[in-house]
Amino acid sequence: MTAALRFDPIRLPPECEVLRQEVRAFLADEIAAGTFDPHKPQREDSDAPEFSRRVGERGWLGMTWPKQYGGHERSFLERYVVTEEMRVANAPTRRFFVADRQSGPVLLKYAPEHIKMDILPRICRGEVCFSIGMSEPNSGSDLFAAKTKATKTDGGWLINGSKIWTTSAHIADYMIAIFRTSPSTKENRRHGLTQFLVNMKKPGITVNPIAQITGQYEFNEVVFTDHFVPDDHMLGELDGAWKQATSELAYERSGPERFLETYYVLTELVRAVGPKPDTRSAEGIGRLVAQLHTMRRMSVSVAGMLQAGREPVVEASIVKDIGTIWEQQLPHRVRELAAFVDADASNHATLDEQLAFAIKTAPKLTIQGGTTEVLRGIIARGLGLR
């Protein structure tokens, strides 16, 4: 074994509970104002720019970033609380979520100062949307097989090729993408990839939405045709992006969004069975809540590692692996438990509607953000098993 895995028990400090109440009050006001319906978790294609700006005005974007870039220098644990409450409420976070979670931290670490000063404050104000360009046709989540090329030209790079399964590319202002700048070597297939900041509003980019079984659009194919990226938009080390991307994924894979995406069917089931469930329902719900509690403790622990300045790539992969499998299976388990729910339950129609949606959207959960197979490869490598 090359790395010792350790999930230290972390208790959320009192300021997090104060913040939690503030977020809940804000979301209650937004629900009352009709911004979104918490019982309709169909946020996949919902874009809410004004809601995004109001979240920014509250200081809940860029929470952990330096104040000189518009951030608020708060803790990862406080950010965890905001994310958790937004997810539980099914709030429309699409416009700002990726930028706040992982694109901003990448820019903080690798972008030139003038780009930080330009873009990061706008992320904190909830004004810009980011997408991530990693997967490609014919290579899927195998990042090291990427073929989309960045070719050096005067003052920058020309991009040709395509990315696929690119979440939110149809509304994104920017993309942080990995492109091939040199061939891989026989000894190191990770070599030759470089990370770039792409302005999605510039010429040479075509975005083709991909329809999902739910009838909505979340993923896209993005085609680059001689798209020009200036030199100062190259992020970090030439040909060495694999190290940067690996660190970035620690932000992407460890949060509560990795096990709360279908959580709404569990709360709706609890409402349907009422305060005095039968033994079968009580046992089933109790088991699910115990599993959820365990994952939450692990996820909070990873937030504590980020707060400590660590890069918990393996631990984050474990949270994502077990979390997405759990949230993928949850609608099916709830459907089994709901089979004997009183037909006169006041929320029966809502539960049925939510289950129909959750069962259709569940298959994607173990693909987005790194497939189960890729995650287990990372975990095995971290344990020294490959």
pLDDT digits (tens, 9 = 90+) for 293-328: 999 999 999 999 988 888 888 999 999 999 999 999
Which of these ranges, 72-76, 127-131, 212-216, has the smallest mean pLDDT?
Answer: 212-216
Q: Within 13 A of 248's CA, how many CA atoms are on the CB side? A: 28
Q: Which residue has the tokens 């692996």?
A: 321
For position 221, what pLDDT does the model report? Answer: 96
> Does residue 245 surpass a pLDDT of 60?
yes
For position 1, what pLDDT does the model report? Answer: 44
Mean pLDDT value across residues 273-292: 95
Share of the chain above pLDDT 90, in %: 70
Q: Which long-range contacts (CB under 8 A, 24 or more apart) does 26-34 make?
A: 26/54, 26/58, 27/85, 27/86, 27/89, 27/91, 30/54, 30/91, 31/89
* Highest mean predicted confidence (pLDDT) among 166-170, 184-188, 369-373: 166-170
**118 with 148: CB under 8 angstroms?**
no
| pTM summary value | 0.89
For position 123, what pLDDT does the model report? Answer: 98
The two three-digit tokens of residue 198, written as one number:
């792409």
> Does residue 54 surpass a pLDDT of 70?
yes
For position 325, what pLDDT does the model report? Answer: 96
For position 43, what pLDDT does the model report? Answer: 56
> Would you mind telling me the total number of residues written for the chain in this entry?
386
Mean pLDDT value across residues 350-378: 88
For position 39, what pLDDT does the model report? Answer: 86
> Does residue 249 surpass a pLDDT of 80?
no
For position 244, what pLDDT does the model report? Answer: 80
For position 3, what pLDDT does the model report? Answer: 56
- The 3-state secondary structure of the chain reads CCCCCCCCCCCCCHHHHHHHHHHHHHHHHHHHCCCCCCCCCCHHHCCCHHHHHHHHHCCCCCCCCCHHHCCCCCCHHHHHHHHHHHHHCCCCCHHHHHHHHHHHHHHHHHCCHHHHHHHHHHHHCCCCCEEEECCECCCECCHHHCCCEEEEECCEEEEEEEECCCCCCCCCCEEEEEEECCCCCCCCCCCCEEEEEEECCCCCEEEEEEECCCCCEEEEEEEEEEEEEEHHHEECCCCEHHHHHHHHHHHHHCCHHHCCCCCHHHHHHHHHHCCCCCHHHHHHHHHHHHHHHHHHHHHHHHHHHHHCCCCCHHHHHHHHHHHHHHHHHHHHHHHHHHHHCCCCCCCHHHHHHHHHHHHHHHHHHHCCCCCHHHHHHHHHHHCCCC
**156 with 229: CB under 8 angstroms?**
yes
Mean pLDDT value across residues 114-130: 98
For position 346, what pLDDT does the model report? Answer: 81
Greater pLDDT, 359 or 190: 359
The average confidence (pLDDT) of the chain is 91
Rounded Cα distance, 265 and 176, in Å: 33
How many other CB atoms are there within 10 angstroms of residue 201's CB atom?
9
The two three-digit tokens of residue 223, written as one number:
């085609």
pLDDT digits (tens, 9 = 90+) for 62-113: 999 999 999 999 999 999 999 999 999 999 999 999 999 989 999 999 999 9
Q: Which residues contact 253 (CB under 8 A, 6 or more apart)?
A: 316, 317, 319, 320, 369, 370, 375
> Does residue 142 surpass a pLDDT of 70?
yes
Greater pLDDT, 243 or 295: 295
Share of the chain above pLDDT 70, in %: 96
Q: What pLDDT band is residue 250 in, cutting at 50, 70 and 90? A: low
Pairing of strands 130-133, 174-180: parallel
Mean pLDDT value across residues 220-234: 98
* Highest mean predicted confidence (pLDDT) among 109-118, 237-246, 247-256: 109-118
How many other CB atoms are there within 10 angstroms of residue 7's CB atom?
18
